[in-house]
C-alpha cells in the first residue's frame, strides 16, 4: 500500500469481513451479502450520502468477483468509455466469459443519452452495472435501468461504526500505526460524532491531526482535544440546496410546522440556512403552511407569515434568520385547521366533474336581473335615503 495516498483510500476494506456498517443490506443473512459471496451479482444501484461506503463496497466486489471488473466516473467519462468497455467484454480473446461488472461512480451525472447507451448491454447481461449515487435514483436514473437493477439504500454510518474505523486505522500497518499516535478514546469518539456518519471526513480529520503534530520527547504524536477540534473544524452540514437533500430538508421543515413541533421546525430551518437556502423561499413555505395547515384555527398566522416574508425581503441575511425563526415558531405552535384547504379542493373538484347548474337569479350581477325586479327603487332603512339603481 502506497502510504502517500490519503488515509481514507488506504483504509478501504478489501473483503466483506472488513467492511463496516450497512448491516441492513450486508448482514450474513441478507441477499446482497449472499450474492457477493457466491459471485452471482446482478445489476445494483448504491444510493447513499457521501462517505457511507458506496465506493468501498464496489472495491470489495472487485476483489471478490472472478468477473472482469471495470470502473469509470460519470463526471469524466462518456458514451465512448462505455463502448470501449463493451467492445473489450465482447472480445472472447480478452474476456472468455463475455460479461463484465461495470462500476459507475456518480451515475446521476450521466445524461439520458449516456444512460440509454448502457441499457441494451445491461438487458442482455453483457454488463452487470454497479451504479453509485448520492441523489435519489428514482429521480436521476433512467427508469429502464432502475427496473433492471436492485436499488440498495445505504445509510450514514453510526458513530460506533466510524469510531471502529478510526480505531482500526491507528492499529493498521496500512493506516497510522507507524506514526506512534497517542489519542484518548473519548477524543476519537468526538471525531466520529462530528463526522455525521461520513467516515471519509473522519479519517481525513484524523490524518490532518497526525501529520501536522510534532512528536514529543518520547517519540509519540499526542493528539489532544484542541488539536482534534482544529483538524476536524466543525460538524458538517448534510444539506445541498441543489440536490435531493434540498427536498428532504424542506419537507421535514414543513411537516415539523404542521406537526406542531417548534424545536424540529427551528432545527430544519437552521439546516436550510446553513446550507445556503434562499431565505425568501423559506418565508414562502411558512406563508403556505400558515394558510394550508393553520387556516381558520388562527387566521392571524397568515398575517404574521406574510409580514415575515416582507420583512425578510427588506432586511436580508443574516438578520432574516431571526424573522424566519419567529414566524416558523408561531406557525408551529398555532392550532391547526385545514378546513379551508379541504373546502376549496372539494369545491374545485365539484366544479370540474359535476353539473353545478346556473347561478341563482337573486345573486347575479345587477344589470342581469333588472328586468326581473319589481321596482328599481330601494329604501335604505338606516338613512331613509332613496337609492336608484343606475
What residue spans define the domains of the chain?
A: 22-153, 159-232, 244-333
Walking along the chain (390 residues) 10 residues at a time, the average pLDDT comes out as 78 90 87 88 90 90 89 88 90 85 90 87 90 88 88 90 92 88 91 86 90 87 88 62 74 94 94 88 95 94 95 91 95 94 91 86 70 47 42
Q: How many residues does the chain have?
A: 390
CB 168 within 8 A of CB 190: no
C-alpha cell at 22: 450497512
φ, ψ of residue 131 to 5 degrees: the values are -105, 135
Would you state the pLDDT for residue 369? 46
Q: At what angle do helices 185-194 and 159-171 cross, to 10 degrees?
A: 130
Would you state the pLDDT for residue 283? 95
Would you state the pLDDT for residue 386? 39
Would you state the pLDDT for residue 240? 59
Q: What is the pTM of this model?
A: 0.67
Burial class (CB in 10 A: 0-12, 13-18, 19+), 102: buried
C-alpha cell at 233: 473544524
Would you state the pLDDT for residue 244? 67
CB 6 within 8 A of CB 202: no
The architecture CATH gives domain 22-153: 3-Layer(aba) Sandwich (3.40)
CATH number belonging to domain 244-333: 1.20.272.10
CATH number belonging to domain 159-232: 1.10.8.60
Amino acid at each position: 500500500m502506497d502510504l502517500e495516498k490519503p488515509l481514507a483510500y488506504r483504509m478501504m476494506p478489501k473483503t466483506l469481513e472488513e467492511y463496516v456498517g450497512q448491516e441492513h443490506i450486508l448482514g450474513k443473512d441478507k441477499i446482497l451479502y449472499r450474492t457477493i459471496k457466491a459471485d452471482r451479482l446482478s445489476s445494483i444501484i448504491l444510493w447513499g450520502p457521501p462517505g457511507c461506503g458506496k465506493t468501498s463496497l464496489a472495491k470489495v466486489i472487485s476483489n471478490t468477483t472472478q468477473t472482469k471488473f471495470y470502473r469509470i466516473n460519470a463526471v469524466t467519462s462518456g458514451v465512448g468509455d462505455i463502448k470501449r468497455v463493451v467492445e473489450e467484454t465482447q472480445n472472447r480473446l480478452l474476456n472468455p466469459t463475455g460479461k463484465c461488472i461495470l462500476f459507475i461512480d456518480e451515475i446521476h451525472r450521466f445524461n439520458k443519452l449516456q444512460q440509454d447507451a448502457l441499457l441494451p448491454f445491461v438487458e442482455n447481461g453483457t454488463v452487470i452495472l454497479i451504479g453509485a449515487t448520492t441523489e435519489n435514483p428514482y429521480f436521476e436514473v433512467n427508469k429502464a435501468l432502475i427496473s433492471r437493477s436492485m436499488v440498495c439504500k445505504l445509510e450514514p454510518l453510526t458513530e460506533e461504526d466510524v469510531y471502529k474505523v478510526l480505531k482500526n486505522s491507528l492499529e493498521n500497518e496500512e493506516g497510522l500505526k507507524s506514526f506512534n499516535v497517542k489519542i484518548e478514546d473519548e477524543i476519537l469518539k468526538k471525531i466520529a460524532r462530528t463526522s455525521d456518519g461520513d467516515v471519509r471526513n473522519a479519517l481525513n480529520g484524523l490524518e490532518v491531526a497526525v501529520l501536522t503534530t510534532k512528536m514529543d520527547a518520547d517519540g509519540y504524536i499526542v493528539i489532544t482535544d484542541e488539536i482534534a477540534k482544529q483538524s476536524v473544524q466543525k460538524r458538517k452540514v448534510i444539506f445541498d440546496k441543489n440536490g435531493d437533500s434540498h427536498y428532504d430538508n424542506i419537507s421535514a421543515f414543513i411537516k415539523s410546522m404542521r406537526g406542531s413541533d417548534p424545536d424540529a421546525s427551528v432545527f430544519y430551518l437552521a439546516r436550510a440556512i446553513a446550507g445556503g437556502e434562499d431565505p425568501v423561499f423559506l418565508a414562502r413555505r411558512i406563508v403556505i403552511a400558515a394558510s394550508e395547515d393553520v387556516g381558520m384555527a388562527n387566521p392571524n398566522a397568515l398575517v404574521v407569515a406574510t409580514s415575515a416574508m416582507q420583512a425578510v425581503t427588506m432586511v436580508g441575511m443574516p438578520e432574516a434568520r431571526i424573522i424566519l425563526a419567529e414566524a416558523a415558531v408561531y406557525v408551529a405552535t398555532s392550532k391547526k385547521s385545514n378546513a379551508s384547504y379541504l373546502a376549496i379542493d372539494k369545491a374545485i373538484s365539484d366544479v370540474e366533474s359535476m353539473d353545478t347548474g346556473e347561478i341563482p337569479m337573486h345573486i347575479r350581477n345587477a344589470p342581469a336581473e333588472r328586468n326581473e325586479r319589481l321596482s328599481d327603487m330601494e329604501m335604505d332603512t338606516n338613512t331613509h335615503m332613496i337609492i336608484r339603481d343606475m
